[in-house]
C-alpha cells in the first residue's frame, strides 16, 4: 500500500449519500461528538485500504446506526432489531466469497439480539461484528441498556441502575470469549487518539480476517453518546476513561488470526431431486385409490375435528388427511391444542380438495366432528349452512342448536367401548366420516392401518379395522 500523504474521507464511504433523504447528502445524521462517526470512518478506511469495498456486505441494525447504509459503499441489508447476526449468517453462507460486516449497538446486540449473537458466534459464522457499547439506548432516548453501568442514571433508571433490580452490565466481549469458535475478540475504546488507533488496528485485523474468511470476528468498541449521557462530547471522553474502563477492561481477549483457517462448510444440497433422494422419497409409493362417486357437497371438504385431549382428535385428522391423499386429493392438517397432553381441549383442521389449499385453518367448515359437548357448541356456530355435523352422542346429551345443518349423532365413544377399547374412538370417527361423505371405502382405510399404527401387533390393527367398520356401518344403518 502506498504511503498516504493525505488523510481524507475514506473511499469506503459513498461520495454522495444518495440514499439519505433531504438536502444534506454530504454529512451524517449523527449528533455532534457521536462515536459512530469515528468507528464508521475507521471501517470505511479499512475497506478502502484492504480493497474490499466491492466485496463487503454491511448489515445495519436498529439503533442510531440504522442508517449505516446511507454512508458506506458496498452492499447493504437493514434488519430488524438484534437480528443482524442471523441475517449475516444467511448472507455469508449464501455468499461465501464476500465479507460480511454486522454493525450493532448494545441494545440491539446485547438485549433483544443477545441470543442471535451467541448462536452466530458459537457457529463461527464468517462475520465481522462491530459492537458499539455506549452504555445506553441512544436512538430511543437514553434508556437503560444491558451495558448501562451500575448507578448510571438513564431515563428508565432515574435512581441509577440498581443491580438488585436491574442486574450488572453485561460484558459481551468476555461472554463471546467463552465460546470456542470465534477467531478474534477484542474490546477497544474511542476515548483518546491512542485508543482510537488501537481501535483502528482491531478493525483492520477483524476485516483482514474477514477478507480471508477466517470465521467470527468480534470487536467491542466503547463509544460516547453525548446526547444520551447529557454531557459535552469532551466530557464524555473522561467519562469513558473513569467510569467505563474499570467495568469494561480493554484489550485483545483472543487473537487466533494467524492459526485460523478459512471456514469451509459442506456444499448445500439445493436440487429438489437430490433432497428427495436423501429423504428416500423418490419412489412413488402412493396407493392410487380409485375414487367412488362423491356428492357435490362433499367434493371439497373443510373439516374441524374437536374434543378433549386424549380422544385421538389429532389422529382422526391425520388419518383423514393421509387417506385422502391416497385418493389423489390435496390435503392439509393443522393442529391446535393447549399445553396439556391429556384432559385439555384440542382441535384440528383438515382440508381435502382438488384445488390448491390456501388457508389451512377450517374457519368456516362444512364438516365438524365434535367428540364432546363444548366442542360441538363451539364449532357448530362456525359451520357453513348445509354443512354436516358428526357428533359423539355418547358424550353429547343435547342436540345441535343449528337447524340449517345436517346432524349425524353417532355414539362414537360407545361403539369403541363395545369393541373393548375406547382408544379406538378416533378411528370410529374416521369410519363415520367415510360413510357420511362417501369419500373413502372402508377397506381402503383398513389397508392403510398398518401404516398408521406402525410397530403395533396384528390384534391392535384388527381392532382398529373393526372400529372403522363400526363407525361406517353405524352411519350406513342409521341415516
Partner 1 sequence: MSHYPRPGINPDYCKGCGLCVASCPKKVLAISEKLNSKGYHYCEYTGDGCIGCGNCFYSCPEPAAITVYLKDHQPGKEA
Q: Which residues bind partner 1 (CB under 8 A)?
A: 2-10, 13, 26-28, 30-38, 40-42, 44, 71, 192-193, 196-197, 200, 226, 232-234, 237
Q: Are 229 and 275 in contact (CB under 8 A)?
A: no
Q: Which is nearer to partner 1, 103 or 289 (CB)?
A: 103
Residue 145 Cβ vs partner 1, minimum distance, rounded to whole Å: 20
Residue 340, CA distances (Å) to 49, 147, 157, 345, 424 in order? 60, 39, 40, 8, 20
CA proximity to 204, closest of 252, 236, 245, 249: 252
Q: Which is nearer to partner 1, 232 or 399 (CB)?
A: 232
Residue 51 Cβ vs partner 1, minimum distance, rounded to whole Å: 15
C-alpha cell at 456: 403395533
Helices marked H in 95-229: 106, 114-122, 163-166, 172-177, 193-211, 226-229
Q: What is the CA radius of gyration of the chain?
A: 32
Q: Which is nearer to partner 1, 196 or 376 (CB)?
A: 196
d(CA 80, CA 87): 9
Residue 199 Cβ vs partner 1, minimum distance, rounded to whole Å: 9
DSSP-derived secondary structure for 243-288: IIHHHS--EEEEE-TTT------PPP---HHHHHHHTT--S-----
Q: Which is nearer to partner 1, 40 or 171 (CB)?
A: 40
CA proximity to 83, closest of 59, 100, 101, 57: 59
Q: Cell 433531504 belongs to which residue?
A: 22
Q: Cell 441509577 belongs to which residue?
A: 160
Residue 252 Cβ vs partner 1, minimum distance, rounded to whole Å: 19
Q: Which is nearer to partner 1, 194 or 258 (CB)?
A: 194
Q: Which is nearer to partner 1, 13 or 69 (CB)?
A: 13
Residue 15 Cβ vs partner 1, minimum distance, rounded to whole Å: 9
Residue 13 Cβ vs partner 1, minimum distance, rounded to whole Å: 5
267 CB burial (10 A radius; 0-12, 13-18, 19+): exposed
Q: Which is nearer to partner 1, 10 or 317 (CB)?
A: 10
Q: Which is nearer to partner 1, 233 or 374 (CB)?
A: 233
d(CA 329, CA 326): 7
d(CA 250, CA 240): 11
Residue 63 Cβ vs partner 1, minimum distance, rounded to whole Å: 16
Q: Which is nearer to partner 1, 115 or 232 (CB)?
A: 232
Cβ contacts of residue 337 below 8 Å, gap of 6+?
309, 313, 314, 344, 345, 346, 347
Residue 237 Cβ vs partner 1, minimum distance, rounded to whole Å: 7
Residue 115 Cβ vs partner 1, minimum distance, rounded to whole Å: 31
Amino acid at each position: 500500500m502506498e504511503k498516504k500523504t493525505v488523510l481524507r474521507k475514506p473511499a469506503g464511504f459513498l461520495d454522495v449519500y444518495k440514499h439519505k433523504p433531504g438536502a444534506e447528502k454530504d454529512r451524517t445524521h449523527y449528533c455532534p461528538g457521536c462515536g459512530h462517526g469515528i468507528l464508521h470512518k475507521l471501517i470505511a478506511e479499512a475497506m478502502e485500504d484492504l480493497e474490499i469495498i466491492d466485496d463487503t456486505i454491511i448489515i445495519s441494525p436498529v439503533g442510531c446506526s440504522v442508517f449505516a447504509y446511507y454512508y458506506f459503499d458496498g452492499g447493504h441489508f437493514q434488519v430488524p432489531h438484534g437480528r443482524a447476526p442471523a441475517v449475516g449468517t444467511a448472507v455469508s453462507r449464501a455468499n461465501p466469497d464476500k465479507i460480511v460486516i454486522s454493525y450493532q449497538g448494545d441494545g440491539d446486540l446485547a438485549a433483544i439480539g443477545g441470543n442471535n449473537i451467541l448462536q452466530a458466534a458459537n457457529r463461527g459464522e464468517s462475520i465481522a461484528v462491530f459492537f458499539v457499547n455506549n452504555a445506553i439506548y441512544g436512538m430511543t432516548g437514553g434508556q437503560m441498556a444491558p451495558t448501562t453501568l451500575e448507578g448510571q442514571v438513564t431515563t428508565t433508571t432515574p435512581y441509577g441502575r440498581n443491580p438488585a433490580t436491574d442486574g450488572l452490565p453485561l460484558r459481551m466481549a468476555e461472554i463471546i470469549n467463552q465460546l470456542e469458535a470465534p477467531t478474534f475478540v477484542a474490546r477497544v475504546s474511542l476515548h483518546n487518539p491512542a485508543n482510537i488507533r488501537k481501535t483502528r488496528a482491531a478493525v483492520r485485523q477483524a476485516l483482514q480476517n474477514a477478507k480471508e474468511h477466517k470465521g467470527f470476528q468480534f470487536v467491542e468498541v466503547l463509544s460516547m453518546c453525548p446526547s444520551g449521557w447529557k454531557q459535552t462530547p469532551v466530557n464524555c471522553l473522561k467519562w469513558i476513561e473513569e467510569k467505563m474502563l474499570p467495568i469494561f477492561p480493554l484489550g485483545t481477549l483472543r487473537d487466533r488470526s494467524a492459526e485460523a483457517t478459512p471456514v469451509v462448510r459442506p456444499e448445500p444440497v439445493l436440487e429438489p431431486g437430490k433432497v428427495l433422494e436423501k429423504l428416500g422419497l423418490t419412489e412413488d409409493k402412493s396407493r392410487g385409490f380409485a375414487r367412488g362417486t362423491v356428492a357435490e357437497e362433499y367434493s371439497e371438504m373443510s373439516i374441524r375435528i374437536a374434543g378433549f385431549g386424549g380422544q385421538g382428535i389429532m389422529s382422526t385428522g391425520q388419518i383423514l388427511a393421509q387417506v385422502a391423499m391416497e385418493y389423489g386429493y390435496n390435503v392439509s392438517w393443522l393442529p391446535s391444542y393447549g399445553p396439556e397432553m391429556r384432559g385439555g381441549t384440542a382441535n384440528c383442521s383438515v382440508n381435502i380438495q382438488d384445488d390448491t389449499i390456501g388457508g389451512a385453518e377450517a374457519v368456516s367448515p362444512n364438516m365438524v366432528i365434535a367428540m364432546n359437548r363444548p366442542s360441538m357448541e363451539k364449532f357448530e356456530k362456525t359451520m357453513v349452512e348445509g354443512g354436516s355435523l358428526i357428533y359423539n352422542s355418547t358424550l353429547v346429551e343435547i342436540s345441535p342448536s343449528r337447524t340449517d345443518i345436517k346432524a349425524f349423532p353417532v355414539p362414537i365413544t360407545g361403539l369403541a367401548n363395545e369393541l373393548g377399547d375406547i382408544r379406538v374412538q378416533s378411528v370410529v370417527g374416521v369410519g363415520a366420516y367415510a360413510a357420511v361423505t362417501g369419500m373413502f371405502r372402508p377397506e381402503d382405510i383398513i389397508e392403510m392401518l398398518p401404516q398408521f399404527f406402525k410397530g403395533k401387533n396384528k390384534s391392535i390393527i384388527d381392532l382398529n379395522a373393526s372400529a372403522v367398520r363400526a363407525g361406517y356401518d353405524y352411519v350406513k344403518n342409521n341415516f
